[in-house]
Amino acid sequence: MFEVKVVNLEAELIRQCCKGDRKAQFMVYEKYSKAMYNVAIRMTGNTQEAEDILQDAFLTAFMKIKQFRQETGLAIWIRRIVINRCIDLIRKRKVEFSEIDNIPDIPEEEEPKVVDPEVIHKAIKQLPSGARTIITLHLLEGYTHKEIAEMIGVNESTSKTQFHRAKQLLIKKIKVHEHEIRE
Amino acid sequence: MNMKSGNEFENKVRAKRQMMDLDEPDDSRIWSGIETRLSFYYQRRRRVLISGLAVAASIVLLISIALFTQINKDSGLLSFSSGEMSEFKKQEKQYKALVNDKKEQIERKDIDQEIIDYYKTDLAILDSLYQYCLKELNENGYNERTVMILLDTYEKRIRIYDRINIENQKLINSKQDESKVLL
C-alpha cells in the first residue's frame, strides 16, 4: 500500500509540473538537484560547468515533461538528461578517450578492502576527463560497456579496456588519499 | 543497466553510491535561473499561441467565404474583362515578389524551428486554398470573389512571415535579457 502511495505522489507532482505549477517544479528540483549535481560534477570535474548543466537539464525537463512517458521514474529520466548534457560537453571538448593510453602501463594495484565514499568521490573528481567519464558511467551510473560505447562513440572493447585502466588510476588515487589522511 | 557484475571493490563502491553525493549546488542561484528562463519560455509560448489563433481564425474565415461563395459557372457573378485580368495578373505578380522576398528573409535568418513548425500548417492551408481558387479560375473563368480570396492568401502569407520574424526577434531579445539577468 505504501509503495503505491509513493508512486501516486510522483504522478501527481508530474501532473502539476505539466500544468506549469511553480511549486511542483520547485519540489522536483529540490528533491533531485543534489544527486544530479553530483553526477554532473563527477563527469565534468568543474563546478561552473556542472551548475550550468544542472540548470539546463532541469529547464529541459520542465519544458518537455509532457513528453515524459513515466515508464521509468522521474529521477532516472532527469539523470539521463544530465548525463546527455555532460556527454555533449565532453564531445565539444573533444576529450580523447585514448588519453589513458598515453599513461604508461599502470601496474595492477591491490584493491582497497574498505571503501570510504568521501575518498572515492574526491578521487573520481581528480581523474583525467576520459577516466572520470568511464568510471562514472559504468561504476556509478550502471551503464553497460555496450551502452557507454554508443554514448561516447567508441567500440565496446575500448570501453572495457579504458574502464580497467581508469579503475587502476582510481585505486591509486584512493591510496594516495588514504595515505594523506593517515598522516 | 547492469549493477550486479564486477568484482568485490566495484560492488562495494556501488553499494555506497548514494553516500557519494557530497557536493552541494548553489540552489538559490540555479533555481532563480530556472525560474527566469521558464517565465520567458511560457510567455513566448502564450504569444505564439495567441498570434497563431488570430491567424488561424482569419484563415478559417477565408475558407468559409470560399466555400459559401457561389464560385461556379452558373453563379451569375461578373467575369473580368481583359483589362481587369491584366490588372489581376499585375497584382499577383507584385504579391508573389513580396511573398518570395519575405520567404527569403526567413530562410537567410536563423529562425527558431519551433516558431517555423508552429506556422507550417497555416502556410500549408493557404497553399491549398490558393490551389483551389486557381483551379476554380481555370475551370470556370475569372470572377471577382475568387480573385479576392486568391490574393488574400498572399496577404495572409505575408502576415505569417512577418509574424515569424517578430516572434523570432522577441525570442532573441528575451534570451539577451535572460543572460543579463543571470550574469
User: With an 8 Å Cβ cutoff, are B41 and A37 in contact?
Assistant: no
Q: Which helix (H) or strand (E) holds A119?
A: helix A117-125
Residue B2 scores a pLDDT above 50 = no
Tell me the mean pLDDT in the region B3-8.
61
Question: Which chain A positions have a beta carbon within 8 Å of B3's beta carbon?
Answer: 142
Tell me the mean pLDDT in the region A136-141.
94
Q: Are B87 and B144 in contact (CB under 8 A)?
A: no
Residue B75 scores a pLDDT above 60 = no
Residue A120 scores a pLDDT above 90 = yes
A121 touches B at CB < 8 Å: yes
Note the pLDDT tens digit of each residue in A39-76.
999 999 889 999 999 999 999 999 999 888 877 889 99
**Residue A147 banded pLDDT, cuts 50, 70, 90:** very high
**Residue A95 banded pLDDT, cuts 50, 70, 90:** low
**Residue A111 banded pLDDT, cuts 50, 70, 90:** confident
Residue B180 scores a pLDDT above 60 = no
B26 touches A at CB < 8 Å: yes
Task: Measure the CA–CA gap between B131 and A39, rounded to whole angstroms.
Answer: 55
Residue A94 scores a pLDDT above 50 = yes
**Residue B1 banded pLDDT, cuts 50, 70, 90:** very low
Task: Search chain B and give the residue with CA nearest A112.
Answer: B9
Note the pLDDT tens digit of each residue in B85-141.
777 888 888 888 988 998 888 888 878 777 787 788 788 888 888 888 888 888 888
User: With an 8 Å Cβ cutoff, are B41 and A167 in contact?
Assistant: no
Terminal C-alpha separation, chain B: 39
Q: What is the pLDDT of residue B73?
A: 42
Substitution target from A17, A26, A54 for chain B, most B beta carbons within 10 A: A54
Q: What pTM was computed for the model?
A: 0.63
Residue A34 scores a pLDDT above 70 = yes
Residue A143 scores a pLDDT above 90 = yes
Task: Measure the CA–CA gap between A78 and A39, rounded to whole angstroms.
Answer: 11
B25 touches A at CB < 8 Å: yes
Percent of chain A past pLDDT 90, that is, above it, reads 50
User: With an 8 Å Cβ cutoff, are A62 and B16 in contact?
Assistant: no
Question: Which chain A positions have a beta carbon within 8 Å of B174's beta carbon?
Answer: none
Question: Which chain A positions have a beta carbon within 8 Å of B6's beta carbon?
Answer: 139
Note the pLDDT tens digit of each residue in B15-69.
999 899 999 999 999 998 898 888 878 877 777 677 777 777 777 777 776 666 6
Please choose, from the candidates B20, B40, B78, the residue with its C-alpha nearest in 3D space to the C-alpha of residue A141: B20
Sign for the pseudo-dihedral over CA of B30, B31, B34, B39 = negative
**Residue A104 banded pLDDT, cuts 50, 70, 90:** low
Record the cell numbers describing residue B85, joined without a space.
485580368
B9 touches A at CB < 8 Å: yes
Q: Are B20 and A170 in contact (CB under 8 A)?
A: no
Question: Which chain A positions have a beta carbon within 8 Å of B26's beta carbon?
Answer: 51
Question: Which chain A positions have a beta carbon within 8 Å of B14's beta carbon?
Answer: 139-140, 142
Collapsed DSSP state (helix, strand, coil) of residue A154: coil
Record the cell numbers describing residue B163, joined without a space.
509574424
Sign for the pseudo-dihedral over CA of A61, A65, A71, A74 = positive
Q: What is the pLDDT of residue A4?
A: 57
Q: What is the pLDDT of residue A1?
A: 53
